[in-house]
Structure 1
Amino acid sequence: MTGTTHGPGHGAANPYLSGLYAPVRDETTAVDLPVTGTLPESLRGRYLRNGPNPLHVDDPAGYHWFGGEGMIHGVRLRDGRAEWYRNRWVRSDAVAGRLGEKLLHGPRHLDMDFAPNTHVQFFAGHCLALVEGGTLPYELDPELYTIGPFDFHGTLPGGLSAHPVVDPRNGELHAVSYCLAWPYVQYVVAGVDGRIRRHVEIPVPGHPMMHAFSLTERYVLLYDLPVVFAGNGRADGPHPAWVPGRPARLGVLPREGAAHEVRWLETDPCFVFHPMNAFEHDGRFITVHLVRYDRFFDTGRPRPGERTAHLERWTVDLAAGTVRRQRVDDRPVEYPRVDPRRLSRPHRYGYAMRERTAEADTALLKYDLERGSCVEFEVPAGGDVGEGVFVPAAPHAAEDDGWVLAYAYAPERAATDLVVLAAQDFAAGPVARVHLPVRVPLGFHGNWIPDHE
């Protein structure tokens, strides 16, 4: 194992700078990782996850989790072995400069330079670190070193969302992006050649925070909800804020439609960070599974656990122009995922992370949405687990025939494991644990990148 220490220590008074959120100060490379259990031979590729890991914090009391520079944590699996673990900061020019390295330069959108900290997505031969708000994606090489900003070969007309959707039917990438300099949100579609083939600018008032969107076979769903960016006069810039009385609406745009073809359907005030999936049925309905907050950013920048969300099913009646809500589960959850082969298609199963409460630590959940049942994998006392990513056992395997991968903090080691669960025997616990030599701070989203991509 090798490590290089960077940056000063961080204050512990801010919960996002202490405990399991605390940033790590080393970039680590470890090989031939120890494994408890048996890694499935079919897992040949890299599990990558992005998250905030600030290099330096000028004002620890004012720091929020969403603002830290991104760090990618990755594990390489092949032939039943865990070949390596690596963690690397995404090198924006600001990060490279602070580390005393050569600046990468490259294209920018509106001169924004930020190390994306939210997601990582492989598309058209490019591994991309992603963030919302107008910043370009940054491309990574197979060993997680930063190549530089990526503008889809000069065709991206702005920034990109942190939550694109790759259509499993044709491999195209869809995204809905926002930027504070725009009076609109932008829907883009990239072809499998890695170039933007279509973009639509959809006017929306008040700079809403559209963290994500949903895609169906024929439609794009836009979440225009009562969280907007305000406070241009603040020293730390605009920030998301809940606006009482602002209408909540769901936009329905035909995939090949123009901006004026969006139908805006009213719904109850709420906020949505993460949809699970959406699909059409019976010729007139759209079903959306998503995680819904009653409100968010209504008390400034929230602290851990201050607001919780629940899994809901929204039924959109296109003929009647209505949205009907139904709570699926009373557990507090986040980070919903499905089998990526089912995105924009009907799905039976979904996965989520149960939030920590005063009564229990976190858990991974598997939902059977047809039966209305849920199975839990609970971490040991004092532990934690992040987003679960489903990996099919084979290209044409059944929807739940595969594995769920996640980083889980192991308190007995004060370090993190990559846990591998069999989706069809979820409650039995991991079939394998890859023991990392370090702690992976709590973070956001990741993906599995198989070797053939």
Structure 2
Amino acid sequence: MSLTSRPPYTGGFTPVTDEVTAFDLPVTGRVPTALNGRYLRNGPNPMDLDDARLHLFTGDGMVHGVRLRDGKAEWYRNRWVRSAHIAEALGEQPRSGAPVHRRDTGPNTHVIGHAGRTFALVESGPRPYELTYDLDTVGASDFSGTLLAGFTAHPKLDPATGELHAVTYDGGGDIVRYLVVSAAGLVTRSVDIPAAHSPMMHDFALTQKYAVLYDLPVTFSREAAQAGNPLPAAWNEGRGGRIGLLPRDGVEVRWFDIPPCFVFHTLNAYDDGDTVVVDVVRFPKMFVNAELSGNSLSTLDRWVIDTVTGTVTESRLDDRPQEFPTISPAVVSGTHRYGYSAVTADLLRFAGPTAGLEDLSNDSLTDGLLKHDLTQQRTEVRHFGRGHHTGEAVFVPSENARAEDDGYLMAYVHDPDRGASDLVILSAQDFTGSPVATIHLPARVPLGFHGNWIPDPA
């Protein structure tokens, strides 16, 4: 195996080469005894760095996890998701349902717990892969025969019903599909939405009334696919942009025009009388020349959709480059005051050489986390120090939480002095104070994408 990485797998994204299992992890501070479960995070970790088709979004999936119980950090594990490609490379038998007819990197984008099971997720066609509690791969899942095609990397869990909502697409297909997965893990609703232009719908938003769709000018590019681009998506400004409101119990989408832009991730959305409020991390451009480069920096923005006048008003909530927005899971699809996001310089550098990126190349952005108080219109900044690569944070509400920000933030942070990573647990209400606990891992966790806190059954 070659260890000579090249863009995009350099810096914080440099892959690790070993699967590690470690027990009784050292801790600075005290792990809250109420935190019983696993913090899991997924991301690309290509096994073959000489692959000419390497792309940040298509590397082999690897899940990293820490198990907490009774105030102790019991174990750390990292495991490649066993696609047929990875199973073959490791001398193992293919797992059930793993595609063998094409290069399958395994789901590399998200990992969730639902209906008592653990799933690794990716968008654009593939099915979820089920994992065991200890992160071994069971195989591809069709939700007990109810999932007819692929899934998404960004489902939304309704905290009131326990249902999982999703908007899925298949690169090059002519529809997108709205799905509802019951609390028991079965698809109970499916709505096909015509989309002949094959848009890339990486994420969507959920309110108590609507699924909110983003039909933006990044579309499947047949030319890029024929040229062998591993991610054949391209900026198609002529299409413009629009937001769609699909009633949760309906089949017709109402569309609202907006200026061209691209959104990878939603902070949250909610209904406010005759309007719908949607908070997103917004890029003016993305996938120029079918690459994740040559684009623009992100900002935290708000869309207010007026269902009476048919207009959309856009405003700026925070102009700092950021990504991976999150909120308390207790307020998903309802009103929110607080939001959290990450400043991950190695990720933002992939935006490419446009205005403002000279600052990034001079390393003026230091990785860290942001806490947005959208009521008071202020933002707190939490830095961990230069060289401390910081990934997405996950919010975990306290038991019997009395306020929206009563809880903890968990994130993997690379410690350059140790050459390894920590799982840092912060008090959301004391965002810039000393960590509640810092769990010292025996290995480095590369920058990746998304994860979750999955509590153990009560």
Offset of 1:142 from its aligned partner? 0.5
What aligned pairs does 1:230-249 form with structure 2 within 5 A after superposition?
230=221, 231=223, 232-236=225-229, 239-249=232-242
Q: Is the aligned partner of 1:308 residue 2:297?
A: yes
Q: 1:39 to 1:329 in 2, by over 3 A?
A: same
The answer (yes or no) to whether the contact 2:84–2:99 under 8 Å persists in 1 is no
Post-superposition Cα deviations, 1:394-453, rounded to whole Å, max 9, x if no partner, equal: 154421111000000111111100000000000114121101111100100000001127
Aligned CA distance change for structure 1 residues 138 and 276 (closer, same or farther; 3 Å) = same
Mean Cα displacement is larger for which, 353-362 or 152-161? 353-362
How big is each residue's C-alpha offset from its partner over 1:47-101, in whole Å with a ceiling of 9 and x where there is no partner? Answer: 00000011114435x5211010100000011111111000000011221111101
Q: Which residue of 2 aligns with 1:378?
A: 383
| Partner in structure 1 of residue 353 of structure 2 | none
In structure 1, the residue corresponding to 2:429 is in which secondary structure? helix
Whole-angstrom distance in 2 between the partners of 1:422 and 1:111? 45
1:399 to 392, 398, 404: 404
User: CA–CA distance in 2 between the matches of 1:143 and 1:427?
Assistant: 33
Aligned-partner SS, 1:371: coil
Question: Is contact 1:93-1:105 (8 Å) kept?
Answer: no
- Is 1:25 the counterpart of 2:17? The answer is yes
- 1:335 corresponds to: 324
Q: Distance in 2 between matches of 1:384 and 1:57?
A: 21
Cα separation, 2, equivalents of 1:238 and 1:152: 27
1:10-49 residue pairs with structure 2 within 5 A? 10-12=3-5, 14-49=6-41
Q: CA deviation at 1:9?
A: 2.3
Selected match of 2:85 from 70, 90, 94: 94
| 1:285 match | 275
Deviation per CA, 1:289-309: give whole Å up to 9, x if none: 110000001144235x96320
8 Å contact kept, 1:287–1:315: yes
- Structure 2 residue 49 is matched with structure 1 residue 51: no
Q: Take 2:142 and 2:442, find their aligned partners in 1: how far apart are those partners?
A: 35
1:185-264 maps to which residues of 2 (within 5 A)? 185-230=176-221, 231=223, 232-236=225-229, 239-258=232-251, 261-264=252-255
Report the 3-state secondary structure (helix = DSSP H, G, I; strand = E; otherwise coil) of the residue aligned with 1:424: helix
Q: Offset at 1:10?
A: 3.7
How many residue pairs match? The answer is 440
Residue 441 of structure 1 aligns with which residue? Answer: 446
* CA-CA distance at 1:287 after TM superposition: 0.8
Q: TM-score, normalised by structure 2?
A: 0.93
2-structure distance, mates of 1:322, 1:122: 37
1:117-139 residue CA offsets vs partner (Å, 9 max, x unmatched): 00001111111000001000000
Cα distance in 1 for residues equivalent to 2:102 and 2:417: 45
Q: Does 1:149 align with 2:140?
A: yes
1:248–1:109 distance in 2 versus 1, CA, 3 Å: farther
CA contact (8 A) 2:54 2:230 kept: no
Deviation of the 1:41 alpha carbon: 1.4
SS in 1 for 2:436: strand
1:387 aligns with 2:392: yes
CA distance in 2, matches of 1:95, 1:16: 20
- In the other structure, the counterpart of 1:324 is 313
RMSD, aligned CA: 1.8
Bigger Cα displacement from structure 2, 225-234 vs 331-340: 225-234
Output the amino acid matched with 2:457: H
SS in 1 for 2:12: helix
Equivalent-residue separation in structure 1 for 2:323 and 2:301 (angstroms): 12
Using the alignment, how far apart are the partners of 1:426 and 1:95 within structure 2? 39
Which position in structure 2 is the counterpart of 1:360?
365
Deviation for aligned residue 1:361: 1.1
CA distance in 1, matches of 2:84, 2:160: 37
Amino acid at match of 2:220: F
Distance 1:384 1:47, change over 3 A: same
Quick check: 1:298 aligned with 2:288? yes
Partner secondary structure for residue 67 of structure 1: coil
- 1:5 — aligned with what? none
Alignment partners' CA distance in 2, 1:418 and 1:293: 29
> CA-to-partner distance for each residue in 1:256-312, whole Å, 9 max, x for gaps?
111xx211100011000001100001x201111110000001144235x96320101
SS state of the match for residue 97, structure 1? Answer: helix
Amino acid at match of 2:377: G
Q: Which runs of 5 or more residues in structure 2 are unaligned?
A: 346-359
Greater mean deviation of Cα atoms: 66-75 or 16-25: 16-25
Please tell me whether the aligned partners of residues 109 and 159 of structure 1 are also in contact (alpha carbons under 8 angstroms): no
SS of corresponding position for 1:430: coil
**TM-score normalised by length of structure 1:** 0.94
Partner of 1:272: 263
Which letter maps to 1:314? W
Q: Does 1:65 align with 2:56?
A: yes
